[in-house]
Structure 1
Amino acid sequence: MIAQASRLNHVEEYYFSTKLKEVKALQDSGKPIINLGVGSPDLPPPPQVMLALQQALLNPDAHQYQPYRGTADFRRAIGEFYQNFYEVTLNTENEILPLMGSKEGITHISMAFLNDGDEVLIPNPGYPTYEAVSRLVGAKSVMYDLSEDTGWLPDFEELEKKDLRRVKLMWVNYPNMPTGAAAKKDLFERLITFGKKHSILIVNDNPYSFILNEEPQSILKYSDNMEGVMELNSLSKSFNMSGWRIGMLCGSEQLINSVLKVKTNMDSGMFLPLQAGAAMALRLPQEWFSDQNKIYLRRKEEVLKLASILGCSFSEDQTGMFLWCRVPTGTTSETFVDHLLQQYHIFAAPGFIFGSQGEGYIRFSLCATEENISKACKRLKA
């Protein structure tokens, strides 16, 4: 029997990969499952985007290998997007790197900058992939706690108390998943100052800027020359294109080139029609986001009703496509979610999967129709 690599000894299969098998088994047995667990948009991409993809299929070069850095037009579209919505000016030749989804970027960044034994600051609660990838590349995860008391923002006094000598990278994620906390200018400025002081690369993972958020922000706006700062972004959430696997990484030429060394040895460029569709999406006006948010706001109002029926507590000013709620006392998040699934056939995400600071919370997705969320409410009332 061939033994697996030792790097996998401390890495588990992604929670949703295993849990969704259970959900599907219940569905296959006839149970009417209402899925409020996964943040995969159920709304369609913009029609202009699908038309652009279709037209690009007729391009005689469409089925050939594409540039590792992405097409010039796609990079220009990313530059226009950052200028128009974040007031950030990027050199489209060397400060932008298209990605096959931002999860790819997390791996590439980690491989580009982390050596065995380097340490990584990871938010708790936070996206589980940050920790999993750090382990895969041989780095040590150093969790920094976010809490309801601090508005789910980093506590810099506590960070300064840590031994930071071996820390090389810090993951931040604002607007935050799973908590829905939004960042202001002063947070990004403090993060940049903190990174410079301790020679730590600060990477903001920024896919939720435009969902129920009236002030889209980029950490790059507050960095003079982008030295020591990078930002991941994605079309998955804001443009309902999660299955397309399209993201981007922005930062200084030096940092981008380091990641490019990894990327060019792991893929051969993105399918041309996907890039054409993505470029169209990034050039859409503000009205696209406004119309999407009208739908998400109505859904959020229904999920708030659902959470209230369950006796959960929550803040109503959360951003993004989830609602983060504290479960009633006397139960764990896993027990609460399993009871909800087995008894009422409603699936949500337990907070513990996002870290120890997520225990006692539950995350509801807004990626379900108002009708289905209303059905869930009626089941609970019955």
Structure 2
Amino acid sequence: MIAEAQRLQSVQEYYFSKKLQEIANMQTDIPIISLGIGSPDLQPAPEVIETLIKESQAGVNGYQSYRGLPEMRNAMAQFYLSKFEVEVNSNSEILPLIGSKEGIMHISMAFLNEGDKVLIPNPGYPTYTSVTELIQAEPLFYDLKGENNWLPDFEQLEKLAEQKPKIMWINYPHMPTGATASREVLGQLVAFAKRHQILIVNDNPYSFILNDHPTSILSIDGAKEVAIELNSLSKTFNIAGWRIGMVLGKEEFIHSILKVKSNMDSGMNYAIQKAAAKALEVSEEWYDNLTKIYAERRQIIYQICNKLNVKYDPNAVGMFIWAKLPEGIDDKSFIDEILYTKKVFITPGSIFGSNGEGYIRFSLCAPVEKLTEVLKRL
């Protein structure tokens, strides 16, 4: 018998991989409506599609540079300058990625040794934990709680820092809660990282969904010495399946990540890179229209929350609604009852960590018609 690697004993198949397969196998008399995963259902801008078609027909199909096309890197740099007031060198401080999820693995492999400690938010994106365990590093979970607006407790962080963590994952705007971090809080995080020589990685794909104040940690004075940032075009520009992400930071950090990336994958498709560069140049009207669509959907989700007697924060941002169940109700049992009786899938909060127990998460990636149908079924 050929046994799997021991490192796989610490991780399980991704929750959505299993749950979506279960849903696909269900025999139902009415279609199941999924409000679970954040997969944009809207179309990219017309000029982005036009560019993709045009460049696909140009016949450039060979392997591309691991660093990406210069025009795409330039567009990424200009995007950060215009949207975040962050100046980066497009030749040395940006590395395009085949999706930012890939970047979580590349960054971990670039900086972590077996046994290194990693600060991970609870609740937070499950991939931070699974990748840490695959690398055979050790997760150190730091609490994010509703009573503290889902922001770090710096007293707890100082105690955890005694274990000498090497990387700290942060994610603002935060998934799954929609919480935002002020410049003051980001400044505290940078100061904390400097005191303890920790590399902060801010995972920042939700800044332009229902958020009036997009912020990058790299806009904080001195952040480049201890911080890098992941970003993605998936959510903002409705191109999730295209797998276009990026990591930004000082040259030394980027070079280390490139060492891993260049040995694990190849350059992105030429036409997709050209179309991605076009996406980064869309007008302000694009962002305004996106906001209007998601705002309309959010109002119906609020009605669904009221119908289910769950509490939500109207100040939260991003493409999800995070809601608290009444005390004593198990989130996984609750969502399964809704799934099996109403044929509606909602994400249980506990998959994001112990501090997510008793919460549920709704995705805004469903048209008004489907959301209205959910309301009717309930």
Mean Cα deviation higher: 352-361 or 371-380: 371-380
Alignment of 1:105-116 (within 5 A): 105-116=103-114
Could you state the TM-score of these two structures normalised by the residue count of structure 2? 0.98
Q: CA offsets per residue over residues 175-210 of structure 1, 9 Å max, x none?
A: 000000012111111111010000000000000000
Asked if 1:69 is matched to 2:70, the reply is no
What corresponds to 1:11 in structure 2? Answer: 11
What corresponds to 2:34 in structure 1? Answer: 35
What corresponds to 2:340 in structure 1? Answer: 342
Distance 1:134 1:225, change over 3 A: closer
Separation of aligned partners in 1, 2:303 and 2:28: 29
AA at the equivalent of 1:30 = D
Q: CA offsets per residue over residues 94-114 of structure 1, 9 Å max, x none?
A: 000000000000000000000
Give the CA deviation at 1:29: 3.8
Give the CA deviation at 1:312: 0.3
Separation of aligned partners in 2, 1:22 and 1:165: 40
Q: CA offsets per residue over residues 83-133 of structure 1, 9 Å max, x none?
A: 010000110000000000000000000000000000000000000000000
Separation of aligned partners in 1, 2:235 and 2:56: 24
Separation of aligned partners in 1, 2:223 and 2:32: 49
AA at the equivalent of 1:45 = P
Q: Counterpart of 2:160 in 1: which secondary structure?
A: coil
1:370 to 343, 368, 371: 368
What corresponds to 1:48 in structure 2? Answer: 47
AA at the equivalent of 2:184 = D
Separation of aligned partners in 2, 1:231 and 1:161: 25
1:268 to 266, 269, 275: 266
2:225 to 220, 224, 227: 227
Give the CA deviation at 1:371: 1.1
Give the CA deviation at 1:59: 2.9
Give the CA deviation at 1:225: 6.2
Instruction: Answer yes or no: is the 8 Å Cα contact 1:49–1:280 preserved in 2.
Output: yes
AA at the equivalent of 1:342 = Y
AA at the equivalent of 1:323 = I
Mean Cα deviation higher: 326-335 or 92-101: 326-335
Separation of aligned partners in 2, 1:165 and 1:375: 50
Separation of aligned partners in 1, 2:187 and 2:257: 24
Separation of aligned partners in 2, 1:163 and 1:181: 24
Q: Counterpart of 1:120 in 2: which secondary structure?
A: strand
1:171 to 169, 172, 180: 169
Separation of aligned partners in 2, 1:63 and 1:200: 41
Could you state the TM-score of these two structures normalised by the residue count of structure 1? 0.97
Q: Counterpart of 2:224 in 1: which secondary structure?
A: coil
What corresponds to 2:87 in structure 1? Answer: 89
Instruction: Answer yes or no: is the 8 Å Cα contact 2:200–2:228 preserved in 1.
Output: yes
What corresponds to 2:119 in structure 1? Answer: 121
Instruction: Answer yes or no: is the 8 Å Cα contact 2:119–2:169 preserved in 1.
Output: yes
Asked if 1:285 is matched to 2:283, the reply is yes
What corresponds to 1:2 in structure 2? Answer: 2
Instruction: Answer yes or no: is the 8 Å Cα contact 1:232–1:248 preserved in 2.
Output: yes
Separation of aligned partners in 2, 1:118 and 1:135: 10
* Number of residue pairs aligned between Structure 1 and Structure 2: 378
Separation of aligned partners in 2, 1:246 and 1:310: 36
Give the CA deviation at 1:378: 1.1
Q: CA offsets per residue over residues 255-312 of structure 1, 9 Å max, x none?
A: 0000000000011211001100100000112221110010000000000000100000
Instruction: Answer yes or no: is the 8 Å Cα contact 1:66–1:272 preserved in 2.
Output: yes
Asked if 1:137 is matched to 2:135, the reply is yes
Separation of aligned partners in 2, 1:284 and 1:218: 20
Q: CA offsets per residue over residues 224-248 of structure 1, 9 Å max, x none?
A: 3611110000011001111001100
Give the CA deviation at 1:57: 1.4
Alignment of 1:147-186 (within 5 A): 147-186=145-184
Mean Cα deviation higher: 288-297 or 161-170: 161-170
Separation of aligned partners in 2, 1:219 and 1:129: 21
What corresponds to 2:253 in structure 1? Answer: 255
Distance 1:260 1:377, change over 3 A: same
What corresponds to 2:308 in structure 1? Answer: 310
Q: CA offsets per residue over residues 66-86 of structure 1, 9 Å max, x none?
A: 111001000000001000100
Unaligned 5+ runs, structure 1: none
What corresponds to 1:237 in structure 2? Answer: 235
Q: Percent identity?
A: 52
What corresponds to 1:25 in structure 2? Answer: 25
Superposed structure 1 runs of 4+ greater than 6 Å apart:
none
Instruction: Answer yes or no: is the 8 Å Cα contact 2:69–2:273 preserved in 1.
Output: yes
Separation of aligned partners in 2, 1:140 and 1:261: 23
Separation of aligned partners in 2, 1:216 and 1:241: 20
Mean Cα deviation higher: 347-356 or 160-169: 160-169
Instruction: Answer yes or no: is the 8 Å Cα contact 2:190–2:223 preserved in 1.
Output: no
Mean Cα deviation higher: 90-99 or 215-224: 215-224
Separation of aligned partners in 2, 1:360 and 1:346: 18
AA at the equivalent of 1:371 = E
Separation of aligned partners in 2, 1:318 and 1:361: 15
